[in-house]
């Protein structure tokens, strides 16, 4: 059962990270800021998504 749960959680994290990256690219933030957020999301998937959700570029 552990493999199924971790696989499902991994898929959820992947979907949330893709969503965060797409929203970051679509935001009105500067290019440097976008690149920094995308690198953070890719290198630290869970923590990066949480930070993006709380502090990331809006709109």
Q: Find all residues with CB under 8 Å of 24, minimum gap 6, and list them.
A: 34, 37, 38, 41, 52, 56, 57
Domain ranges of the chain: 2-55
User: Residue-wise over 22-59: b if at least 16 C-beta within 10 A, else e?
Assistant: ebbeeeebeeeebeebbebbeeebeebbeebeeebbee
CB neighbour list of residue 42: distance below 8 Å, 6 or more residues apart: 17, 21, 48
Q: Is the pLDDT of residue 59 over 70?
A: no
The tens digit of pLDDT for each residue in 6-54 reads: 889 999 999 999 999 999 999 999 999 999 999 999 999 999 999 999 9
pTM higher than the cut 0.75: yes
């Amino acid at each position: 059962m552990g493999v199924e749960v971790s696989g499902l959680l991994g898929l959820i994290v992947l979907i949330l990270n893709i969503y965060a990256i797409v929203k970051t690219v679509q935001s009105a933030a500067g290019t440097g800021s976008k690149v920094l957020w995308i690198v953070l999301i890719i290198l630290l998937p869970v923590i990066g998504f949480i930070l993006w959700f709380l502090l990331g570029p809006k709109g």
